[in-house]
Amino acid sequence: MKIRFLIAFLIIATLIGCLSAPSIPTPEPYGQRYIKRGAELVKGLAACGYCHGDSAQPDSPLSGGRSFEDKYGEVLAANITPSQTGVGDWTAEELSRAIRFSIGRDEEPLSIEAHEGYRWMSDQDVYSIIAYLRTVKPVDHEVERRSLSIVDRYTVGLLESHLTVAGYVPSLDSRNVREYGKYLVNNLARCATCHNSPESLLEEEQFLDGGKEIKLSSGENRVAPNITGSKTFGIGSWTQSEIVSYLKTGQAPGNKISDQRFCPTHFYKNAFGQDLFAIAKYLKSVESADAAADADE
């Protein structure tokens, strides 16, 4: 009996230890391999300047200050250049936590919506972004930090959770094209942020089914389209080459040009061609909830 009790105790202790394991410290990344990949991500699929840029352009200084809206209201994008008013004295681990988990260096919560999807970005890509940010020109620009009241946190943000990852997140093999494309769509370009259908009291959010209203600070708005592989509702009738061409130019089949203020194709054109092809292949494989509903009727 005592032996069985001891074994049970050890198993429970081990499980508790695994669940509460501390995160692995982030090393300080350096070297051209990281910097090159980081530049391609920051100016490409991750589109960091779309929010943090002085203007929403790939080569704009990442000095922050532009206004956006999240569930709490107005929020100003941070200065992420390596200056004293930016992230110059942040450690790699602090930057990694801010990127992935929307947690600031003093454990204060940042806007989750701004980084939604980044949590499962691979360590390799997180390190690359950090390495590149270390190399950009420092800009002395103090951005006012938003302070949320306890009332806001326990009403509007009641169900909000800054989930973390304890452990190493591996890179996906780009030769597995569809799965690699899925990773790029979900954890770098984060297409679902705009293109998921809006959740309501009667309907759940549907993956990439469109219908969400996207608003700019200027007051202009657009409804995000369905970008699933449905030939009826989405972009299933597009070829993979046409999807890649759209991501590079913003020009859809039929010569329709998208508004770059709503879809950052001017960033995506800087991505590697194989990454855009992987995205195209994955999007063609995504089933639309509307199409599935029609099939069931």
**pLDDT tens per residue across span 123-132:** 999 999 999 9
Same domain, 87 and 188: no
What are the pLDDT digits (tens) for 233-248? 999 999 999 999 999 9
Same domain, 184 and 91: no
Answer whether residue 142 is part of any domain.
Answer: yes
Using the predicted structure, report yes or no on whether residue 107 has a pLDDT greater than 90: no
User: What integer is the mean pLDDT of 147-158?
Assistant: 63
Answer whether residue 24 is part of any domain.
Answer: no
Predicted pLDDT of residue 109: 85
Angstrom CA distances, 63 to 68, 107, 108, 111, 133, stand at 15, 22, 21, 17, 11
Residue 267 near residue 43 (C-beta atoms within 8 A): yes
Answer whether residue 255 is part of any domain.
Answer: yes
Answer whether residue 197 is part of any domain.
Answer: yes
CATH number for the domain spanning 102: value is 1.10.760.10
Query: Which own/partner contact pairs does 285-288 have at CB distance under 8 Å and 24+ positions apart?
Result: 285/178, 285/229, 286/207, 286/208, 286/227, 286/228, 286/229, 286/234, 287/228, 287/229, 287/230, 288/206, 288/208, 288/209, 288/226, 288/228, 288/229, 288/230, 288/232, 288/233, 288/234
Chain CA centroid to CA 75, Å: 17
Same domain, 105 and 193: no
- Comparing CA positions, the residue from 297, 287, 272 lying closest to residue 45 is 272
Same domain, 210 and 263: yes
**Structural domain span for residue 90:** 32-153
- Phi-psi category of residue 124: left, alpha or beta, with phi > 0 → left and psi -120 to 50 → alpha: alpha
> What percent of the chain shows pLDDT beyond 70?
85
Same domain, 224 and 277: yes
Predicted pLDDT of residue 18: 39
Using the predicted structure, report yes or no on whether residue 202 has a pLDDT greater than 60: yes
Same domain, 146 and 181: no
Same domain, 129 and 195: no
Same domain, 222 and 285: yes
Predicted pLDDT of residue 159: 62
Predicted pLDDT of residue 153: 61
The number of domains in the chain is 2
Same domain, 147 and 192: no
Answer whether residue 205 is part of any domain.
Answer: yes
Answer whether residue 158 is part of any domain.
Answer: no
Domain boundary among 153, 188, 221: 153
What type of residue sits at position 108? E
**Rounded-to-integer distance, Cα 207 and Cα 191, Å:** 9
Answer whether residue 20 is part of any domain.
Answer: no
**Rounded-to-integer distance, Cα 84 and Cα 142, Å:** 9
Question: What is the DSSP code string of 16-75?
Answer: HHHHTPPPPPPP---SHHHHHHHHHHHTTTT-THHHHSSSSSTTS------EEEETTEEE
Residue 29 near residue 45 (C-beta atoms within 8 A): no
Domain boundary among 153, 169, 188: 153
Same domain, 145 and 109: yes
**Rounded-to-integer distance, Cα 259 and Cα 108, Å:** 35
10 Å CB burial of residue 129 (0-12, 13-18, 19+) is: buried
10 Å CB burial of residue 23 (0-12, 13-18, 19+) is: middle
Same domain, 131 and 192: no
* Residue 57 structure tokens: 């352009």
What type of residue sits at position 87? V
Confidence grade of residue 201 (pLDDT, cut at 50, 70, 90): confident
Using the predicted structure, report yes or no on whether residue 106 has a pLDDT greater than 60: yes
**Rounded-to-integer distance, Cα 136 and Cα 245, Å:** 29
**Rounded-to-integer distance, Cα 211 and Cα 219, Å:** 18
Which residues touch 260 (CB under 8 Å, ≥6 apart)?
A: 56, 250, 266
Residue 222 sits at φ, ψ, to 5 deg, of -140, 155
Same domain, 209 and 283: yes
**Rounded-to-integer distance, Cα 137 and Cα 239, Å:** 40
- The pTM is what? 0.85
